[in-house]
Amino acid sequence: MKIGDYIKKKREEQGASQLTPEEMVEKYSAMDEASLMSELFKTANESRARGELDNKTLDEFYQKVSPLLTPEQKERMGELIAGLKI
């Protein structure tokens, strides 16, 4: 059995619905910005409802990724994070 098949089988057995990074790229790469933002906020709301996302988690994420971003990207990320917070 190939490792990819094994991982897929295990994910299915565990009921995992999360996408792999490759699957995420495939799913989101064709979307325009408005569609991406809509999907982002929908996913965030679903994660909040399941108790998997809170403001602290958003802040921690921003702190981790912000050093990797250009000043413009950092500003946009900050705006998005602010919009995701309740």
Q: What's the per-residue H, E or C state across 33-78?
A: HHHHHHHHHHHHHHHHHCCCCCHHHHHHHHHHHHHHCCHHHHHHHH
By residue range, what is the domain housing residue 77?
Answer: 33-86
Query: Model pTM?
Result: 0.63
Verify that 26 and 41 share a domain, yes or no: no
Q: What is the pLDDT of residues 1-58, one digit of tens each?
A: 677 677 667 666 655 556 677 887 788 888 898 998 998 899 899 989 989 899 999 9
| Helix 71-84 vs helix 33-49: crossing angle, to nearest 10 | 50
Claim to verify: residue 38 and residue 70 sit in the same structural domain: yes
Residues 40 and 77 in one domain: yes
- Overall number of domains in the chain: 2
Distance CA 13, CA 78 (A): 37
Residues 22 and 37 in one domain: no
45-78 per-position pLDDT tens digit: 998 998 989 999 999 999 999 999 999 999 999 9
